[in-house]
Amino acid sequence: MTMTSDPDPLPALTRSFDRMLEQLADASAAGKLSYQGRVLDAARRVLKLPGGIAVLEARAGALDRAGIFEGTDWAVPAGLVPGMVGNTLRAAEPRTVVLECLSLLRFLAVLRGEHAPPGLPREHAHHFLTQVLALNLDRILGPGTEAARVQAHALTPMVDALLHRLLEAVGTGGILGQLVDEVWRILRQRPLQVDHVKSMILQIAIALQHNDKGLGATDNRLGADRLISALFGPTELCREDPGLEVYRERLAASDPGTLQAEATGMARAMHDTGLVSDYHAAFLRFVLDSGQGHLLPAALGLSSTGLDALRCYEPLIQRLIACAVHPGTAQAVLGLSLMLERGIMYSPPIAPSLWRLLGASLTPGCEAALSTAFGTAVSPHARLVAGVVTLLGLPLGIGQGNNPTCQSARALSIWALNDPDYLFWLLAQVTANDHVVMYFEGDTLDSGALPAGLALHAPLDADPVSVLLVPHLDRIYAEMGRRVAGRPEDPHRWINPELHGWWVGREFHIAVDIATGKLRDHDRFIRDFHLAYHPIHNGNEPVVHPQPAGIAVTDSQGVFVGWHAITIVRVALDQTGVMRVYFFNPNNDSGQDWGHGIVVSTHGNGERLGEASLPFDQFASRLYIFHDDGLSTPLAVPVEDTTVAAIREMAEASWARDRLPA
C-alpha cells in the first residue's frame, strides 16, 4: 500500500485566517475583542508552519487596519519601547507572543512603505527595528545558551525566524557596525536614560565574541571597543572586568600613582562616551571611604570652573556621592560633574535645596512609584537624589519616553535649565505631600484634587524626577486646558507662561487659524519670527530665556505627522557661518528626517549636549507656534520677501499642503 504525504496545510489555514480577518474588520468596536482572540489563535497556527511568517507579513497592514491591536498596549506603535520586545517574545502566553510578532511585522510593513499608520513614519520604524535587533542579538548571532533553552516555548523557533527575517529586511551587511553607529549617535545627545543603550552594548559585546568580523570597517571596531571598555573595563585595574569585589581589593592595594591614573582614566572614558561604568561609582565610593578626596577633581574630570565649585561646596558634594552614587546609579557621576561645570551651585537657593533633598523622607506613594519603576537594589531616596543630580547636569537629556504628553518633559527640562530652584520646590511638595500646587491666572491648582490627565499612570520608562512629577504636572496641564477651552485662540497662549514661568514671552504667534486649521497670515508669522529671534534682524539680541514653541512634525516624505512641543534654546552661527536654531526636543531622540532635505542635526554643527539644530529657514518652515517678549528694537532689519517666500514654500510643500486658505 502506497503512503501519500498530507497536503500542505498552509493554504487552507490561510483561507480560514482571511475569513476571520474579514470578520474582525467588520466587527463593531465592542465586538472586536472576541474576534481578536480568534484571529490571534489562527495567526499562531499560521506562524508555526513553514511559510507562515510570509503569510502574516503580507497581511500586517490589513491586521492593523482591522483592529487587531485596538484596546491593547500595542495600539499606539509610536509609543512602543524596543527594550520591552525581547521579554515579551520570551513570554509563555501564546497570544502575547503572537501579538508582539504581528506588531513587529507592522513595523516592517511601514519600513517598506506598504503601511502608513498615523504618527509612525518610516524612519521611526527603521529606528525601532534596529534597536529591537540590537537588544536581541544574542538570539540572532550567538549560539543558544542553557538559559535560552530553559526559557524556550513552542513559538521560540518561529520567533527566532522572525528576528532573522527582520535582520534581512533592515540589512545584514555590517549590521554590527550599524548598531555601533546607532549607539554613538544616541550617546552624543547625552540622554538621561541609558539602560537601553547599555543593553545594546552588552549585546554587541556578546555578538563580537562569536563573530568578530561583523563590524566591517576598522573605525567601527574601534568604536565598539571604546563603548565596551567604557562600560566593562575603563581603566587598567578593571580592564578584564574582574567584578566589583576584586576591583575594590585592587584599589585598596594600589599606590598613589596608580589611584591617580585610575581617576584620570575613569573621567576620560566617561566624558568620551557619556557612559559611566559601575567601576567608576565604586571608585568614587572608595575615594570617600579612604579619605582621599584630593582624587575627586580628576575622577570627575573637572575644569577650573567645576573645581572651584567643588572646593566651595565639598562637604555637600561628598554627601551627594555618598547618598546617590552606587553601582546601580553610576550615571549620576556624569550628572554631578556637569552640574558642577554649569556653575549653578553658586545660585543661593541650590545648595540649601540639595541639603533639604538629602534629608527628605519620601512618602510611601513616592517610594512605591520609584520602586516600581527602578526596583529595590538602590533605595528610592538614593534613586531620586541621583536622578535630580543627573537632570541638573544634563537638563536637555530628559526624554518623554512612553509618556503620552511632551509638555511635562519640556517643562522639567526648562526648569532644570533655567530655574532649578523652582524644580526643587515642586519636588519638595511631592516628596512631602504627594501633590503639587501651582497657580493659573491667580487660581490655585492642586494636583491632588484634579482628575487624571493624559498620563493615566506614573511613567515607568522615565527618569526618577519624571516618575514622581509627571503625573502631577499632567493633571495641572490638563486642568489649565479645561479652563481655557472656550477661548477663541490656541490654549498654549495662556498655558505656556503660567505653566513654565514668567520668562515665557506674552506675545503669542501662531501660523494657523484655530477654527479652520488653515494658514493665517503666514508671511507675517515668518517675519515676526525673524524679528524676534534672528540676530541679523532683531538687533543681535540673544535668546535670554529658553522659550517654548510648537512645531509641525513631518516624516521623511514631508507628510504631516502631528504637533509637537519643543524649546528654543538659542540662535547662533555654526562653524560654517550658517545661522541655526538650537532647540530641545523631549522625545528621547532628536535626530530626525523631516523630509525634503530637512534633517535634524544633533552633533557636528555646534550643538551643545542634548541640543538639536536646524538652519534658521528650515526650522522656521516647520514652526507653527512661538512666544516673544514684545521688546522691539530700533535696530530691527526688515526681512527680505525672497526669504519669506522660500520658507513659505517649504511649509506649503509639507505640513501646510492641505492648510492653504481658500
C-alpha grid cell, residue 409: 518633559
Lowest mean pLDDT among 218-227, 232-241, 578-587: 218-227
Q: Residue 230 in contact with residue 277, Cβ under 8 Å?
A: yes
Report the alpha-carbon distance of residue 165 to residue 380 in Å, rounded: 41
pLDDT at position 238 over 80: yes
**Does 519 lie in the same domain as 471?**
no
Mean pLDDT, residues 398-404: 65
The CA R_g of the chain, rounded to the nearest whole Å, is 27
Give yes or no for a contact between 102 and 62, defined as CB atoms under 8 angstroms apart. Answer: no
Q: Is 240 exposed, middle or buried (0-12, 13-18, 19+ CB in 10 A)?
A: exposed
Average pLDDT of the residues in 170-191: 79
Please report the pLDDT score of residue 28 as a whole number. 86
Do 476 and 370 lie in a common domain? Answer: yes
pLDDT at position 531: 95
Residue 413: which of 555, 545, 553 has the closest Cα? 545
Q: Write the CA distances from 485 to 220, 339, 481, integer angstroms.
A: 53, 39, 6
Strand order in the sheet with 623-628: 507-510, 623-628, 547-554, 560-573, 579-584, 612-615
Residue 2 has pLDDT above 50, yes or no: no
* 245 part of a folded domain: no
Residue 502 falls within a domain, yes or no?
A: no
The partner residues of 573 in beta bridges, in order of sequence, read 579
Hey, which residues does 615 pair with through a beta bridge?
580
pLDDT at position 181, please? 83
Averaged pLDDT score across all residues of the chain:
89
Q: Please report, rounded to a whole number, the percentage of residues in the chain having pLDDT higher than 70.
A: 92
Domain boundary among 170, 205, 239: 170
- Look at residue 490 and tell me if it is in a domain: no
User: Quick check: 231 and 327 in contact, CB under 8 A?
Assistant: no
Per-residue model confidence (pLDDT) at position 405:
63
Same domain membership, residue 451 and residue 513 = no
Tally of domains in the chain: 3
Distance (Å, whole) CA 305 – CA 191: 23
Tens-place pLDDT, residues 324-347: 999 999 999 999 999 999 999 999
Question: Which residue's entry shows cell 529606528?
Answer: 127
In whole angstroms, what is the distance from residue 495 CA to residue 405 CA?
Answer: 14
**Inside any domain, residue 110:** yes
* 468 domain residue, yes or no: yes
Alpha carbon distance 573, 524 (integer Å): 24
Band of residue 10 on the pLDDT scale cut at 50, 70, 90 = confident
**Pair (17, 152) in one structural domain:** yes
Kindly list the distances between the CA atom of residue 543 and the CA atoms of 11, 37, 582, 603, 607, in Å, as whole numbers in the listed order. Answer: 64, 55, 10, 20, 15
Q: Are residues 20 and 129 in the same domain?
A: yes
- Both 73 and 131 in a single domain? yes
Residue among 191, 195, 138, 134 at smallest CA distance from 166: 134
pLDDT of residue 78: 82
C-alpha cell read off for 253: 592595594
| Whether residue 371 sits in one domain with residue 437 | yes
| H or E element in which residue 566 lies | strand 560-573
Place 556 in a pLDDT band, splitting at 50, 70 and 90. confident
Q: How many CB atoms lie within 10 A of CB 642?
A: 8
Alpha-carbon gap, residue 104 to 163, rounded angstroms: 9
User: Does residue 5 surpass a pLDDT of 90?
Assistant: no
The reply to whether 457 and 545 lie within a common domain is no
pLDDT of residue 92: 66
Higher pLDDT pick, 167 / 445: 445
* 469-515 confidence digits (pLDDT tens): 999 999 999 999 999 998 988 999 999 999 999 999 999 999 999 98
Dump pLDDT digits (tens) for 31-41. 888 889 999 99
Instruction: Mark whether 462 and 559 lie in a shared domain.
Output: no
For residue 4, the model assigns a pLDDT of 44
pLDDT at site 160: 87
Give the model's confidence band at 175: pLDDT under 50 very low, under 70 low, under 90 confident, else very high: low
3-state secondary structure (DSSP) of residue 294: helix
* Domain presence at residue 281: no
Residue 402 scores a pLDDT above 70: no
Q: Are residue 610 and residue 642 in the same domain, yes or no?
A: yes
Q: Given this model, what pLDDT does residue 539 score?
A: 92
C-alpha separations of 369 from 250, 284, 463, 471, 505 in Å: 38, 28, 12, 11, 35
Higher pLDDT, 46 or 207: 46
**Which residues are within 8 A (CB) of 9 and not within 5 positions of it... i.e. 6 or more apart?**
49
25 is in which domain, residue-wise?
10-170
Does the residue 546 lie in any domain? yes
- The grid cell for 470 is 509627571
> Binning pLDDT at 50, 70 and 90, where does residue 573 land?
very high
Could you report the per-residue pLDDT of 195-224, keeping only the tens digit for each? 888 988 887 888 777 665 555 555 667 888
- The DSSP symbol for 587 reads S
Do 87 and 128 have their domain in common?
yes
Q: How confident is the model at residue 146 (pLDDT cuts 50, 70, 90)?
A: very low
| CB contact at 8 A, 204 and 142 | no
Q: How far is CA 570 from CA 17, 547, 590, in A?
A: 55, 9, 16
Taking alpha carbons only, the member of 424, 403, 422 closest to residue 474 is 403
Same domain? 559 vs 415: no
Looking at residue 6, its pLDDT comes to: 53
**Structural domain ending residue among the three candidates 136, 170, 204:** 170
| φ/ψ (deg, to 5) at 579 | -75, 125
Per the domain annotation, does 222 fall within a domain?
Answer: no
Q: How far is CA 46 from the centre of its chain?
A: 36
Q: Is-contact 87 98, C-beta < 8 A?
A: no
pLDDT score at 324: 97
Q: What phi and psi, each to the nearest 5 degrees, are found at residue 407? A: -65, -45
Quote the percentage of the chain above a pLDDT of 90. 67
Q: Are strands 623-628 and 547-554 parallel, antiparallel or unpaired?
A: antiparallel
